[in-house]
Amino acid sequence: MNRDLDLAGFEMHPQRGAVLAEVHARPFTRLTAPVTVLRFAFLGQGEVAAADRQNFVAFCLSHGQAPPEDGTKHHQVTIGDTQLRWEQHSEFSTFTWILAGSEASARRFGEIRADSTALIRSLRQSGQLLVAVKLEVEQTSAALERAQQLFERASLAVAAVRSGPAVVASDFRTDDQGFVRILVCNDGLSPGRLGALVQRVLEIETYRTLALLGLPAALELAPSVDHIGRRLVEVLEEMQGAEDLKLNNHLLTELTALAASLERGAAGSSFRFGASRAYNDIVQARLAVIEGGEIAGYPTWSSFLARRMAPAMRTCATMEDRQADLSIKLARAADLLRTRVDVELEEQNRDLLRSMNDRTRLQLRLQSTVEGLSVAAIGYYVVSLFSYLAKGAHDGGLHVEPSLATAIFVPVAVAVIWIITRNIRRRHLKHDEMPGDHG
């Protein structure tokens, strides 16, 4: 009997389900023109992101909708004829409102009904608003004429869509309400392709804005990095003529302070610059997917954004490279200066040891001199005592000549005292050299 193979007997990786589900995450929403789409992106991490999530959960419950499950990063609910799509990313959250049945016209582009406005305002956010997009999808074949009515011609960028008969247009300026307006003219795209196009266009504007956050950080760091670069050159010039240990120590301390200042700025900006690169890559990938050709007389989105984003991205990359280059140079200069300080300290230690050796040698000479004088003095007292003994013996009747006996005893006494003194000194030296006495 044939039996299908299943995976019941295998131990599953705990992340297998999440990895497989990621391919199907954030599916495109099927759209039919006309429709108005509002996209808001709020910056927030940690507690702020958690508060935004709780606000969204409370909003869903208050309107009788199922809230997102724990751990999910995207969720979509439908309230009447309005759809709300929530997505949470590493440093921001997006809320995309899809308002069906919009009446788009040159006079009322993206006009929002009062009930929709009240619904949108009822969802409170804790994060800071960064992106606000008002996108209008119209069913028309006169895309260029419609775009010319809505946007400033000097800033208008228009591009045909690769996936079918549609055109996207925007001047990337904010209107009186603070929204960046985007027009999508559909002339035959299916609901699935139209939904995919709208989502990619919204992602372009969202990630474009996020990518440009690196520019203010780079401009803010520029004066500090310039100062560190100039001061490094000055310190290197001072190093060439610095022969004093105190001055070299001062320069080493200053180099350490410069390196700390540079690393502090680099640590604070590394995430921002890395995120800007990643966001810019996403923008370029989305542009490559949607753009299919030019429309005569107007720049495409790629060319328009490249003229404005490319310099900003180069500024961020240049600042990041300067930080890395300066860090290497500061480390190299500090190593050179530290080597010079170590050499000067070794020379001072050598001179100190030499002076200590000279002092020790002098002490040994003094000790030898004192030792000789001590032997003579002790010998004098011993011989004197022996002389008294000899005289006493002579006076007692012994046949002893005191002067002769004393004269004979002098070399014996001095020799014995010298031997005893030498043995005492050797025992002291041996005791000083014992391993247990060394610190």
Tens digit of each residue's pLDDT (9 = 90 or more) over 205-252: 999 999 999 999 999 999 999 999 999 888 888 877 766 777 777 888
Closest CA to 39 of 200, 247, 278: 200
Closest CA to 126 of 14, 63, 70, 42: 42
Give the pLDDT band of residue 393 (cuts 50, 70, 90): confident
User: What number is the average pLDDT over the span 188-210?
Assistant: 93
Residue 88 Cα distances to 38, 49, 125, 136, 309, angstroms: 16, 8, 13, 24, 25
Question: Looking at residue 312, what is its pLDDT?
Answer: 93
User: What number is the average pLDDT over the span 98-125?
Assistant: 74
CA 271 from centroid of its chain's CA atoms: 7
Question: Looking at residue 111, what is its pLDDT?
Answer: 74
Cα gap 366→52, rounded to integer Å: 87
End-to-end CA distance of the chain: 85
Confirm if 78 and 123 have CB atoms less than 8 A apart: no
Give the pLDDT band of residue 106 (cuts 50, 70, 90): very low
Q: Is the pLDDT of residue 322 over 60?
A: yes
Chain segment 153-176, per-residue pLDDT in tens? 888 999 999 888 899 999 999 988
Question: Looking at residue 23, what is its pLDDT?
Answer: 60
Q: Is the pLDDT of residue 107 over 50?
A: no
- Give me the residue spans of the domains in the chain: 29-206, 214-350
Cα gap 181→132, rounded to integer Å: 9
Tokens of 330: 């500061």
User: What number is the average pLDDT over the span 354-376?
Assistant: 73
Amino acid letter, residue 3: R
